[in-house]
Every structure is written in structure tokens, then in C-alpha cells.
Amino acid sequence: MTNAKTDLYFPHVRLLSDHVINKIAAGEVVERPASVLKELVENSFDAGATQIDVDIAVGGRKLVSITDNGRGMSRDDALLSIERHATSKIKDVDDIENINSLGFRGEALAAIASVSRFRMETCAAGEDAGTEISISGGKLYDVRDAGCPVGTKIEIRDLFFNVPARRKFMRSQQTELAHIRTGFIVQSLAHPEVGMSLTVDGRELYRLSGNGGVEDRICELFGTDRIKSVKLVDYKNGDVAIHGYVGLPSASRTDRNEQYVFVNGRATSAAVIGYGIREGYHTLLPKGRHPSVFLFLEVDPQQVDVNVHPTKREVRFRRPSDVRDVVIRGISSALTALNNDLINNQVESTAAFEEGAEIGEAEKYLKIDDLPPQRAFKYPRRLADELFPDNLFAAKSSEQNIVPSIQGDAENIAVESAESSQESGVEKPQAPWGWCRVLGQIGGLYVIMETDSGMVTMDPHAAHERVLFERFMTDVNDRQVESQSLLLPVTVDLDARDALRVRKQAELFKSMGFGISEFGGDAFVVDALPTYFSAADPKSLLIEIAHGLEQAGGRGGSGRWREESIAQSACKASVKARDHLSLEEIERLVVDLSKTNMPYTCPHGRPTLVFASFHEINRKFGRV
């Protein structure tokens, strides 16, 4: 005898039909029309296509069409491709551990066909005729021969027409089109060697040529000016390599919408990559600002798990610390070289700012109009000795009437700098200007300077922070950190997890300048701190470092902690707002700032210098 109430709440186990299974799978794979574009374009890439054309109607609601010139399929393969878990990408379970293709699950076509009116035309090379397949809501309606070129064309019409609950969750036509354009941009960046086009409601939005590189594709998608605001990344360590471009700090955004990351040609990401990007810019961007990046990671496929999510939007790495370190070092290396590479940026030349300059003189200057402030610090293509801080104030002194006391001190500094550089044999960093003179201090804070290209406003506090930060970091990295003994040793009790991390990294702490020893259990005795942080609370420091080590590993954690702590120390030690500086002090600060690796921002990402070109000033006064 059955119990009706029991049967109601505990129904019998039953097998789902293929039709229901396909619709469930569609819920995972197909979120919106942009998801259809992603899956079909990735199939075209896997098919070896060199040209992919996308046609959209009514925000993808009425039509998403993908045409490629890839290998195409025979009739048998075409019929198999629309079955669930049918794929040409893998053969057995071991292949999942070494995925070299973008698709491999064999779900996309079946899932898409189950919630749309699906039509596919395909033809393989050498076939007498192609094949046309029509499906509506997962039901096969027609299979016939078709005259079509080698390749595949798939039309998806009336998406979610048979799933009203899903259709009502689709957004407006404009919103869905925005997602489609974003998806198109992402896929076209992933494979710049493939020609692609996007047509929306009969209007062609993009026509991208193939056989190009990442730089060409960025210019095609975002305009030629975008490549001027990014830096090349090219770094490899072991089996992990990274290349691409990262945006200058001055071109940062309030969102992450322009962070494009690709792993082995797949548009995807991972938490460890996001962390690496943040750390690569660690002291160059203020909180709430995010860089634009176009990064391509190459990792041994056996070290990447792409079978994490049906849409492959995230991956896992077997050795995440290796990937993290390569991302951090690749980005930081590119940004560190920014100052010395500025003069080599390919920017159009413009007339010299000096009225009546000779024609040849114009070629000595770089164009600075309409560029972000921090990118505007160019200097003329002059003799090498005029590019460095040696002539910061001495150059053109006679014609600029520099205050004698400043000029004299600058000359002494120039001689001292030149001698020290020759003795060390180290190449001198390039200054952000060819010459400059200090005009004075305004508002009890800001320093006004004239340079060869315009007017610069400097924040002495931010500038001093940058100078001290790099000086402190040099001492730490060279292991020349001095320790300050505490008057009374401090006993620090940590929780078990923090204590374990500190215990494992005892030698690292000593190299940082800590005097630390175990006191039993999870307690430690601290009797010395690095000189720069002698006023800090020992317990807070240890906990902060321990957390950094947990998040970033030994190398990354220690580096992050050191940068953050040294930045705070530099902030506290630098000149304060409303501090009146003498001309000699300003001069020394300007010279010191010009020698830093990144003179344009403080360690917290705030600008140290704000530039106004003569061209901009002339334009505002109606002289252009």
C-alpha cells in the first residue's frame, strides 16, 4: 500500500530525457546571446579558421550567425556534432589532463540547439557537397545536401523561444549588444592572427585584418592612441611565460573592464592572476584604480586545469605560485623600465615650443599635446649629456636667468653626480625633462617649475615619498638594513596559523632586520626591528607579514610587506604639507626625484608631477 503524502515529497528516482538534459546544460553554457558567440567562435578557432564573420540582429535575440573558413565537417561528423558529449577534441579521460583546444566538453552545440532555431551549413575539403542541418528546440527537422564553401556557417535564431522563463531574463537590446561587442573584442584579442568582422543589424562595426600581432589588434579595436599608453611585457621563468601590454598608471580606470587575460589562447582568468596584476602595480596606483592590461600567459597544458566550469571562464594551476610570480615580475619589470624608455616612445614630432625655432629644431622635440599628464613628461632628443640630471639646472642657465645660488649648487651637484656615476659604472636614469628651473612655491605646498616643454607643478610631499621609498627599498634589497634594538624585548603571542607561518619564515624575518626568537608554544620574543620601522608595534607587524605570506607565498609576501611598510615609513619621514622649503631644498628634491625609477607617482599611486605643455597653454590663450 502506498502513501500518497509520502510519494508527494519523496518521488521515485527516474532518468531524465535527453531533451530535458539539453535544456539543463543550456542553462550552464548559454546565459545570453554573447555566450552563443563565444562558444561558436571558439569552435571556429579550433577548426583552424583564418577568417570569422559574425552577424547579429536585434541584440542577438533574432540572430547570431558565425561563418568561418575552417576545416568544415563531413555529413557524419556534422550529425554527431549536435549530439551531447560528442567532440573531436579529446578521445579518453587522459586527454583532459593535456587540453590544447578551446572546446572539449561536447556540450555547446547540443545545448544551443535545444533552446533556439538552429541551422548549420558545413563542408569539408574534398567533399562533393556540403551538409545543411536544421533543428528547432532540440528536434532535428531536416538534413540535406547543400552547396557551400569549405568551412562552417551556423545561424542561431530566436534564442530561448521555447524557454520563456529564460527569455524574460534577457536584458534590453542595447545591453545584450554591449555584451556581444565585449565578447567579440575578447575573442579577437585572443587570436590576432585571425581576420574577424562584426555586423550588427546590417551595419559593419568591425573589420579586423588577420596575420597581425597583438599590437595591431589593439590599434584596430581601440585606436592607434591606445598603444601609446601601454608598455610592452615580455618575461619568462621556467615553464611559464607572459607577454602583452600593460597600461600606464596615468591611464588607470575605476573598473576592471579593460583587463584582458588569456591563458594558452583562452580568454579566462584565475584569482592568482588578478592578485599578480594588483601586486605588479602595487605602489603605482591609488586604491580604487585599476590598470588596463592585455596579457597572454603561456603555460604547459599539463599544468593547467581548464575543466573547472562549463564555460571555462576560470582555470586552476597546479603550481599557482610560479604563475603569480611571473605575472608580478613581468608587469613590474615593464613599469620599472618606463622612465628610461619614455624617450624612445614613437610619438609624432611637433614644432618646438620656442617661437621662431628653426625647422631642424622641431625634430628635437616630442609631441606632448593631448596626452595624459604623466605621459607628457617627454624631453628633447638632444645630446646624451643634456638628457640626465647633470644639467638639470645648469643647461640654458644664461638665457633663462636662473637664480645664481641655485645654479651654483646645481653645478656642484652635477659634478658630484657625474663622478659617482662614472665610478659605479651604472647607467644613469633619464630625467623627465631636458632642463628646468624652479619658479617658486605656492599655497605653502606646491612647487612650480618651467621645463623645456611646459610648466610642471610638483607636490613636494609625494615627490619626497618616492625618493625615500626607493632609497629605503634599495637598502632592503641589498640586505643593508640596519636593525634597531628595543629597550625592552617584547613577547608576542600569535594564533596557531600565524605562528606556523612566522616559524617557517624565521630566516626571512632575520634578513629583513628583525631580531626574533621562539619563546615556547605560539609565542615569540622580538628584541630588534628594522630601523625604518622601529616605532611600529611588533605584534601588528608580525601579524601583517604573516598574512602577506599566506596570500602571496614567501617571496611575494615578503616583497609586498616590505613595499607597503617602507611606503608607510617614507610617508611619515617625508616633508609635510605647509612645510616651507628653501630653494636649495627644492633643488635637491627635484634632482633626487629625477633620478628615481618612477618619478611620476608616490608609492601609493598619487601623482608627484602635473604637467601643462606650452601648446596647451597657448591654446587656452587663443594663440593656437
Whole-angstrom distance, CA of residue 574 vs CA of residue 338: 24
Range 378-394 average pLDDT:
32
Task: Give yes or no for a contact between 486 and 528, defined as CB atoms under 8 angstroms apart.
Answer: yes
Is residue 11 assigned to a domain? no
Q: Are 293 and 350 members of one domain?
A: no
Q: Write down which residue in 170, 204, 238 finishes a domain.
A: 204
Is residue 217 assigned to a domain? no
pLDDT computed for residue 602 by the predictor = 84
Whole-angstrom distance, CA of residue 225 vs CA of residue 375: 12
Task: Give yes or no for a contact between 365 and 376, defined as CB atoms under 8 angstroms apart.
Answer: no
Among the ranges given (124-128, 406-410, 473-477), the one the predictor scored with the smallest mean pLDDT:
406-410
Please state, as a whole number, how many other Cβ atoms lie within 10 Å of the Cβ of residue 229.
18
Is residue 244 assigned to a domain? yes
Query: Number of helices (H) and strands (E), helices first, in the chain?
Result: 21, 22
Look up the CATH number of the domain holding residue 497: 3.30.1370.100
Of all residues in the chain, the percent with pLDDT exceeding 90 is 25
pLDDT computed for residue 315 by the predictor = 82
Cβ neighbours of residue 497 closer than 8 Å, sequence gap 6 or more: 546, 550
Q: Are 329 and 381 members of one domain?
A: no
Whole-angstrom distance, CA of residue 10 vs CA of residue 4: 10
pLDDT computed for residue 368 by the predictor = 28
Cβ neighbours of residue 136 closer than 8 Å, sequence gap 6 or more: 117, 118
- Label residues 200-224 b or e (16+ Cβ within 10 Å = b): beeeeebebebebebbbbbebbbee
CA 318, 324, 327, 333 torsion: positive or negative? negative
pLDDT computed for residue 423 by the predictor = 42
Q: Are 562 and 493 members of one domain?
A: yes
Radius of gyration of the chain (CA): 31
Whole-angstrom distance, CA of residue 32 vs CA of residue 579: 58
Task: Give yes or no for a contact between 548 and 560, defined as CB atoms under 8 angstroms apart.
Answer: yes
* pLDDT, tens digit (0-9, with 9 covering 90-100), for 275-290: 899 888 877 787 788 8
Look up the CATH number of the domain holding residue 251: 3.30.230.10
Residue 397 has pLDDT above 60, yes or no: no
Q: Are 304 and 405 members of one domain?
A: no
pLDDT computed for residue 28 by the predictor = 61
Q: Are 42 and 182 members of one domain?
A: yes
Q: Write down which residue in 314, 336, 358 finishes a domain.
A: 336
> Which of the 8 DSSP states describes residue 602?
-
Q: Are 90 and 180 members of one domain?
A: yes
Beta bridge partners of 139: 136
Q: Are 198 and 254 members of one domain?
A: no
pLDDT computed for residue 122 by the predictor = 95
pLDDT computed for residue 91 by the predictor = 47
491 vs 52: which has the higher pLDDT: 52
CA 164, 33, 151, 97 torsion: positive or negative? negative
538 vs 283: which has the higher pLDDT: 538
Q: Which domain holds residue 259?
A: 228-336
Is residue 216 assigned to a domain? no
Q: Are 73 and 89 members of one domain?
A: yes
Residue 296 has pLDDT above 60, yes or no: yes
Is residue 588 assigned to a domain? yes
DSSP string, 293-354: EEEEEEE-GGGEE-TTSTT--B-EESSHHHHHHHHHHHHHHHHHTHHHHGGGS---B---SS
Phi, psi of 200 (to 5 degrees): -125, 120
Nearest to 566 by CA among 595, 544, 584, 550: 544
Query: Domains in the chain: how many in total?
Result: 4
Look up the CATH number of the domain holding residue 113: 3.30.565.10
Whole-angstrom distance, CA of residue 54 vs CA of residue 199: 6
Among the ranges given (97-106, 223-232, 414-423), the one the predictor scored with the smallest mean pLDDT:
414-423
Query: By three-state DSSP, how is residue 30 classified?
Result: coil
Helices (H), 337-444: 338-341, 359-362, 397-400, 404-424
Q: Write down which residue in 302, 336, 370 finishes a domain.
A: 336
Whole-angstrom distance, CA of residue 493 vs CA of residue 496: 9
604 vs 371: which has the higher pLDDT: 604
Whole-angstrom distance, CA of residue 32 vs CA of residue 42: 16
54 vs 137: which has the higher pLDDT: 54
365 vs 269: which has the higher pLDDT: 269
Q: Residue 390 class from Cβ within 10 Å (0-12 exposed, 13-18 middle, 19+ buried)?
A: buried
Phi, psi of 382 (to 5 degrees): -110, -170
pLDDT tier at 92, thresholds 50, 70, 90: low
Strands 454-458 and 240-247, bridge-based pairing: unpaired
Whole-angstrom distance, CA of residue 436 vs CA of residue 599: 15
Is residue 218 assigned to a domain? no
Residue 295 has pLDDT above 90, yes or no: yes
pLDDT computed for residue 567 by the predictor = 65
Q: Are 596 and 537 members of one domain?
A: no
pLDDT tier at 355, thresholds 50, 70, 90: very low
pLDDT computed for residue 374 by the predictor = 34
Is residue 421 assigned to a domain? yes
Residue 387 has pLDDT above 60, yes or no: no
Range 300-314 average pLDDT:
72
pLDDT computed for residue 8 by the predictor = 54
Q: Are 138 and 287 members of one domain?
A: no
**36-45, 338-347, 531-540 — which one is most confidently predicted on average?**
36-45
Residue 153 has pLDDT above 90, yes or no: yes
Is residue 278 assigned to a domain? yes
410 vs 446: which has the higher pLDDT: 446
Q: Are 192 and 253 members of one domain?
A: no
Nearest to 48 by CA among 154, 186, 153, 151: 151
Look up the CATH number of the domain holding residue 591: 3.30.1540.20
Beta bridge partners of 96: none
* pLDDT, tens digit (0-9, with 9 covering 90-100), for 449-469: 888 888 999 998 888 888 888
Nearest to 462 by CA among 576, 582, 558: 576
Strands 51-57 and 195-200, bridge-based pairing: parallel
Is the pTM higher than 0.85? The answer reads no
Among the ranges given (295-309, 344-358, 501-515, 542-556), the one the predictor scored with the smallest mean pLDDT:
344-358
pLDDT computed for residue 495 by the predictor = 80
For residue 304, what is its C-alpha cell?
A: 593547467
Whole-angstrom distance, CA of residue 84 vs CA of residue 105: 9
Q: Are 27 and 144 members of one domain?
A: yes
